[in-house]
Chains A and B, each alone.
Chain A
């Protein structure tokens, strides 16, 4: 296959800080090329240069062997470069067809020719084997389908270079299979696809080549078949990670939390289990199985219709987060930016937010104590930052997650609920989070961990509960863990 895109010696600095040093990247027509690297490695900057959001400071970009200047996103679009962002940008109040033809609607007598628009959309979706009604409002579609519409839109704009940024981060396994089909279809049409992902299994399934970026440099490019997991991880972090899931000898103690028949119709039904001191309990299931909903109810964010909760043998009612927190429960939510952090607030103030009562006397905040406690916990968790006074939004994903952890650790809870603890953070930071989780339970405390990443669930949990269609469909002890048995249980009530 011919070379479609060649980026050579790309350099870029922001405010005196060089973030890309002579990066090379070559994409062939009809291939899928994984771009991997830790957060902050330069993937986004490189792609933003390609789609005309940033201008490069040095190096050359050639398409079909012709050197080009990509001055703006409009120019990129004309050259057939499109990007499917992680956070989709469709207009939810408009139909599928209107979204696809936004800004270039077919016109007849000065009015939008809806008939032609719908017909063309239908044809387009058909060639891509996407079964959606062009008249459906975008907002009514699932995220996965919205993503497919964006892909269709890119195709309709004759995109030959398609960048996909973590396309599977919020879609179910079945939808992933469908996405792969579409990607293979695009490959056959000669489209070159840049596939940004943290997930190894995906990269092995769908990509032809892998390029690794680290600290703004292109470290290596391999054919995917030749690259081993270890090679990839080593290249990404610059050192060997001997233990991805650090071992520990679990010291399981007495029960600390008990749920009896917790039910909210259509969300979770008859959920009963016991959590013990020193235990990491994995909660797995397909997206929509009711894992997060159950935990939200345990944390007092939503109310269960029936069922009982016991903490240390005592029956409790948890109607609001304050109740749960005062009973020693902490919740590291799935959506770090939406529910975990107050982004414009400083790192320090985010850290102490749940502990303000302990850090205040009757009227005022005890500033000195707040400062020393904050500095202590942030350094314990090795949060990398210029100053705790900086707004937390300036940190990388991994460091933000550590701040979320720090704010709960400061509160000294007995139970932490982790909802997808390592989503969207890089390998190095992952290992550190795992280590912190282990240290936490080693102190006789307990963790409930929701995870959609099978290796993580199996690597970290002492016991796994599987949810299927809002109910518990099985429980596995560590020696029984296997991908097969978990999947079978996850599908049981579907």
Chain B
């Protein structure tokens, strides 16, 4: 046996380890660097008020991205999240009108129920009726939009109850916004669900190899359907919070949010092919996208340029991941 390691060979091993490191932590390093650079130019970037604003934004986008992570782990995709968000926002706002005289909880439940129903619809289509996820959720996106516009003939819904508005604009102790608290709780639950329960294990297994999962006695269809339900409910919650935050129901809420959510998930290193990914990566992806938008705003970069920058960032992140994980 000739297996002694020469200097040259250990350099090759080091190179491999460096590559793995970049694959795992590349996005996180990029995020840290970005925060440092922007705050050096614009110290206001790391002021308490701005950070709180960013986190509040992140809480809403984050709900979509966390749900999307589960969907992507099974090898699927949910294009309806933005539309579900808008739909749930409108329906909850409808029941939160002062003229309706309903308590806030009813409005919240109605909104979440919309997400639940569309989520179940998606899940049944994809898991049981064998419609490809891309097509099934593209269809439900259109359906959800239609439901949104039909409710008020596309007119906004103003004059919401104070208790409902508190969900989006309220703060605990006058400093900590409610949406951030909601997101933190949901995030904690999702972490436990994915890494500490057998359900999470099954999500990874189904995405990694559905046939092997089935032979191992896993009800693969039910697992696949469930991630769309989760995604639908979380998106709906994001819609409810948004309506409460902007103090009215607006039909274009959530438009285009699906692409941001997908970008956040893939920046975080989750593979669209399924079976491979990490939830904390999605958190990095969320913060990266939010900081990028906010930072570019502060630096005075116009919105039309921002789209280009974001596009390149997504491609770069996934490219680093693919190139270094062969």
Interface, chain A (partner B; CB < 8 A): 13, 15-18, 21, 215, 299, 301, 320-322, 325, 331, 333, 338-345, 349, 352-354, 356-357, 359-360, 363-365, 367, 407
Known: A18-B3, A345-B275, A353-B201. A321 touches B216 (CB 8 A): yes
B9 to A, closest residue via Cβ = A16
Contact A341 B209 (CB under 8 A): yes
Contact A322 B219 (CB under 8 A): yes
A335 to B, closest residue via Cβ = B211
Task: Report the Cα distance A352→B6, complex, angstroms.
Answer: 39
B276 to A, closest residue via Cβ = A344
Rounded to whole Å, the gap between the CB of A401 and the closest CB of chain B is: 13
Closest 7 CB pairs of A and B: A16-B9, A342-B208, A356-B198, A354-B216, A342-B209, A325-B217, A353-B216
Task: Report the Cα distance A333→B204, complex, angstroms.
Answer: 21
Task: Report the Cα distance A365→B9, complex, angstroms.
Answer: 41
Contact A364 B204 (CB under 8 A): no
Which residues on the B side are within 8 Å of A339 (C-beta)? 209, 211-212, 214-215
Known: A15-B16, A17-B3, A325-B217. A342 touches B205 (CB 8 A): yes
Which residues on the A side are within 8 Å of B215 (C-beta)? 299, 301, 321, 331, 333, 339-340
Known: A321-B215, A322-B217, A344-B276. A16 touches B198 (CB 8 A): no
Contact A21 B2 (CB under 8 A): yes
Rounded to whole Å, the gap between the CB of A217 and the closest CB of chain B is: 9
Rounded to whole Å, the gap between the CB of A402 and the closest CB of chain B is: 16
Known: A15-B16, A360-B198. A321 touches B214 (CB 8 A): yes
Contact A16 B10 (CB under 8 A): yes
Interface, chain B (partner A; CB < 8 A): 1-3, 5-6, 9-10, 12-13, 16, 192, 196-198, 201-202, 204-205, 208-209, 211-219, 275-276
| 8 residue pairs A–B, Cβ–Cβ below 8 Å | A16-B5, A17-B3, A321-B214, A342-B205, A342-B208, A349-B204, A353-B212, A360-B198
Known: A338-B212, A364-B196. A16 touches B13 (CB 8 A): yes
Which residues on the A side are within 8 Å of B205 (C-beta)? 342, 345, 349, 353
Known: A13-B9, A15-B12, A349-B201. A344 touches B208 (CB 8 A): yes
Known: A21-B2, A353-B201. A340 touches B192 (CB 8 A): no
Which residues on the B side are within 8 Å of A18 (C-beta)? 2-3
Which residues on the B side are within 8 Å of A338 (C-beta)? 209, 211-212
Residue of A16, A18, A299 with most chain B CB atoms under a 10 A cut-off: A16
Task: Report the Cα distance A360→B200, complex, angstroms.
Answer: 12
Rounded to whole Å, the gap between the CB of A6 and the closest CB of chain B is: 22
Rounded to whole Å, the gap between the CB of B221 and the closest CB of chain A is: 10
Task: Report the Cα distance A343→B6, complex, angstroms.
Answer: 32
Which residues on the B side are within 8 Å of A341 (C-beta)? 209, 212
Which residues on the B side are within 8 Å of A344 (C-beta)? 208, 275-276
Task: Report the Cα distance A365→B192, complex, angstroms.
Answer: 10
Rounded to whole Å, the gap between the CB of A216 and the closest CB of chain B is: 9
Which residues on the A side are within 8 Å of B201 (C-beta)? 349, 352-353, 356, 365
Partner of A357, one of B1, B198, B276: B198
Contact A321 B217 (CB under 8 A): yes
Which residues on the A side are within 8 Å of B197 (C-beta)? 360, 363-365
Task: Report the Cα distance A365→B212, complex, angstroms.
Answer: 20
B204 to A, closest residue via Cβ = A345
Rounded to whole Å, the gap between the CB of B218 and the closest CB of chain A is: 7
Task: Report the Cα distance A340→B205, complex, angstroms.
Answer: 12
Task: Report the Cα distance A194→B130, complex, angstroms.
Answer: 44
B205 to A, closest residue via Cβ = A342
Which residues on the B side are within 8 Å of A357 (C-beta)? 198
Which residues on the A side are within 8 Å of B208 (C-beta)? 342-345
Task: Report the Cα distance A77→B212, complex, angstroms.
Answer: 37
Which residues on the B side are within 8 Å of A321 (C-beta)? 214-217
Which residues on the B side are within 8 Å of A343 (C-beta)? 208-209
A352 to B, closest residue via Cβ = B201
Contact A215 B275 (CB under 8 A): no
Rounded to whole Å, the gap between the CB of B73 and the closest CB of chain A is: 11
Which residues on the B side are within 8 Å of A13 (C-beta)? 9, 12
Task: Report the Cα distance A305→B216, complex, angstroms.
Answer: 24
Rounded to whole Å, the gap between the CB of A400 and the closest CB of chain B is: 11
Which residues on the B side are within 8 Å of A15 (C-beta)? 9, 12-13, 16
Known interface pairs A15-B12, A301-B215; 6 further A-B residue pairs with C-beta atoms within 8 A, sorted by A's residue number: A339-B215, A349-B205, A353-B216, A360-B198, A364-B192, A364-B197
A404 to B, closest residue via Cβ = B212
A354 to B, closest residue via Cβ = B216
Which residues on the B side are within 8 Å of A21 (C-beta)? 1-2
Partner of A342, one of B3, B9, B13, B212: B212
Contact A354 B13 (CB under 8 A): no
Which residues on the A side are within 8 Å of B6 (C-beta)? 16
Task: Report the Cα distance A18→B10, complex, angstroms.
Answer: 12
Task: Report the Cα distance A367→B197, complex, angstroms.
Answer: 10
Which residues on the B side are within 8 Å of A320 (C-beta)? 219
Rounded to whole Å, the gap between the CB of B217 and the closest CB of chain A is: 4
Which residues on the B side are within 8 Å of A354 (C-beta)? 216-217
Task: Report the Cα distance A325→B214, complex, angstroms.
Answer: 11
A14 to B, closest residue via Cβ = B12
Contact A342 B204 (CB under 8 A): yes
Residue of B10, B208, B213, B275 with most chain A CB atoms under a 10 A cut-off: B208
Rounded to whole Å, the gap between the CB of B318 and the closest CB of chain A is: 17
B17 to A, closest residue via Cβ = A15
Task: Report the Cα distance A341→B205, complex, angstroms.
Answer: 9
Which residues on the A side are within 8 Å of B218 (C-beta)? 353
Task: Report the Cα distance A352→B10, complex, angstroms.
Answer: 35
Which residues on the A side are within 8 Å of B276 (C-beta)? 344
Task: Report the Cα distance A342→B215, complex, angstroms.
Answer: 11
Contact A16 B216 (CB under 8 A): no
Task: Report the Cα distance A454→B282, complex, angstroms.
Answer: 52
Contact B9 A356 (CB under 8 A): no
B4 to A, closest residue via Cβ = A18
Which residues on the A side are within 8 Å of B3 (C-beta)? 17-18
B196 to A, closest residue via Cβ = A364
Which residues on the B side are within 8 Å of A365 (C-beta)? 196-198, 201
Which residues on the B side are within 8 Å of A342 (C-beta)? 204-205, 208-209, 212-213, 275
Contact A340 B212 (CB under 8 A): yes
